[in-house]
Chain A
Amino acid sequence: MSTQSSRLAARLMVAPSVAVLLIWMIVPLAMTLYYSFRLYRLISPERTGWTGFTNYVWFFQSPEFWLAMGNTLALVGGVLAITVVLGLLIALLIDQPVKGQGILRILVIAPFFVMPPVAASILENLFMHPQNGLFAAIAMGFGAQPILFLQDYPMLSVIGIVSWEWLPFSTLILLTALQSLSSEQLEAAEMDGASAFNRFRFIILPHATRAITVVILIQTIFLLGIFGEIFTTTQGGPGSASTTLPYMIFKQAIAAKDIGRAAAGGIIAVILANIVAYFLMRGIGRHLDA
């Protein structure tokens, strides 16, 4: 049904979106690239000039960079593992014929609608706080010392907060996938004497694979940019213990006021994100209906 004129019309209709997205992507990227090769510190703005790869070399030689890379990996990997595994278990549970399924869904989905600064400050203050938090009260109830979450386990605390926010998303999507599974198939397998584990392994899991890959793709997009949760809670500390790559760049720009270095970090982050994106799109993109 595509005639010559409707094709032209279609191009014209797509063009504005492509144009603004292209500008939104290329202009800041080009500026970041430019600054990454410049000496540009807000403390000494009169000293400028080209510095070659100095800013990049600083990053790769900084011990904090490798720590931040590890933390970023731990955050993305940790949250993905927790949300997919727990999400699948919870979805399996809610999918059973239980009373009040509608209300259960409403309770489970709620954290997803809580904005990151609220989620972080509520969990940090009302729950993880070593004097006034609920976890401390529970620990003391058992006669144990309260855990200093943000101080002793900063990265795990951040992973916990982010997992709480994203668990509803994976649960809801996996639940939707499970609900489209025909019960006849499972009943037939049960009659044939397939154990619960085998039913899960050979029927439920293959059916949910597509949903799991979609969860991983969408969450990775959002998790790579996690910032607000760290900003509100640990501020990347203590020391650099919970500094991720985005947060390290932020610190270079705001605390160290070194625009050149922050820009170099930005370019490194963009390259890494593109590598991840390439593999994700290749592996998972075919699952999307396009």
Chain B
Amino acid sequence: MARSLSPRRKLITTLSAWTVALIIFFPVLWMILTSFKTEPSAVAMPPQFLSADWTLENYVEVWARSDYPRFFWNSVVISVGSTLLGLAFAIPAAWAMAFVPGKKTKDLLMWMLSTKMMPAVAVMIPLYLLFLKLGLIDTKIGLVMALMLMNLPIIIWMLYTYFKEIPGEILEAARMDGAGLWNEIIHVLTPMALPGIASTMLLNIILAWNEAFWTIVLTTTKAAPLSAFIASFSAPQGLFYAKLSAASAMAILPILILGWFSQKQLVRGLTFGAVK
């Protein structure tokens, strides 16, 4: 609803909008600035902005001392793996619900969403014991499965809303031409559904990357991703601000950049198409 404003009002709204945005963003900015300071400079009072001692030492040290590459790799495997596995389950389900809807389709979708309402802590112990019995504790495959199941309802919902917008007439036309079910899926549907599948994938990688309950509860060392790495790092309070900031920046930057590219899809995706 872009409207014309008087120059003075325009200046005031621009200034206040920028002020508000910078305040919201400021903690991230301050964290990045702190990560380039020496430890004494990071905790100096009053806080140092331009006069700080700048250094790259923190990144070097976090990288060398903390096995960061392994945590990073675990995060990549777990978030991408759980998303791909989730898509394998969700694509056929969402396809069927969008194109062959039955009387119970809406109830089924609602039930799927309601499984997400179950507080994770409530089922923590049985799941932990179950994972222990199955030998899945501290394994990447275990976390891939847990996060896949956790995000499956969201993946199905998102795909469903994207598939819903593909006109059914096109499928009928393909069917008239004698295309079989698989031909229909591969040659007609997939090209039209790809953008939706891509944004669903992106968003779920972000959600899985940032998940910080099961990744902490179900891992110890071998399979621990960056969320567990940070949770363990923040223990020595106040002593290593610069290193904490550097480690935090390294944990969030990949996903922050990915997130900036997918912010438009985020609205559609996480509101299940209800807000456009």
Binding site for B on A (CB under 8 A): 1-2, 6-7, 9-11, 13-14, 16-18, 20-21, 24-25, 27-29, 31-32, 35, 90, 93-100, 104-127, 129, 131-132, 134, 136-137, 140-141, 164, 167-169, 172-173, 176-183, 186-187, 210-211, 214, 218, 221, 224-225, 227-228, 231-232, 245-247, 249-250, 253, 259, 262-263, 265-267, 269-270, 273-274, 276-277, 281, 285, 287-290
Contact = CB atoms under 8 A, between A and B. Distances in A.
B71 to A, nearest CB: 12
Interface string B258-275: 111001001100111111
Contacts of A100: 18
Contacts of B270: 169, 173, 218
Interface of B: 1-5, 10, 13-14, 16-18, 20-22, 24-25, 27-28, 30-31, 34, 43, 45-47, 89-90, 92-93, 95-97, 99-102, 105-106, 108-110, 112-127, 129-130, 149, 152-153, 156, 160-161, 164, 168, 171-172, 175, 181, 206, 209-213, 216, 226-227, 230-231, 233-234, 237-238, 241, 244-245, 248, 251-252, 255-256, 258-260, 263, 266-267, 270-276
Contact of A94 (B5, B17, B106): B17
A17 B237 contact: no
Nearest to B16: A93
Contact of B123 (A2, A29, A129, A177): A29
A121 B234 contact: yes
B102 A7 contact: yes
A122 B226 CA distance: 15
A287 B161 CA distance: 13
Contact of B130 (A13, A31, A228): A31
Nearest to A169: B270
B35 to A, nearest CB: 10
Contacts of B30: 122, 126-127, 134
A29 to B, nearest CB: 6
B218 to A, nearest CB: 13
A14 B98 CA distance: 11
B117 A110 contact: no
Given A121-B248, A269-B119, A289-B164, A211 B126 contact: no
Interface centre among B100, B171, B251, B266 (most CB of A within 10 A): B100
A209 to B, nearest CB: 11
A227 B17 contact: no
Q: Give the 4 A-B residue pairs with the shortest CB-CB distance, closest first.
A: A266-B122, A31-B126, A121-B234, A13-B92
Nearest to B175: A1
A262 B115 CA distance: 20
Given A132-B241, A134-B30, A263-B125, A110 B256 contact: yes
A interface: dominant SS: helix
Contacts, number: 333
Interface centre among B97, B108, B119, B231 (most CB of A within 10 A): B119
B1 A269 contact: no
A121 B120 contact: no
Contacts of A247: 121
Contacts of B263: 105-106, 109, 172
A183 B3 CA distance: 7
Given A32-B122, A104-B18, A266-B122, 12 more contacts: A1-B175, A16-B92, A28-B126, A104-B21, A107-B22, A110-B25, A114-B210, A117-B231, A121-B233, A136-B45, A164-B24, A269-B121
A176 B248 contact: no
A21 B115 contact: yes
Given A20-B149, A115-B230, A2 B5 contact: no
A17 B93 contact: yes
A153 B237 CA distance: 18
A249 B144 CA distance: 25
B267 A172 contact: yes
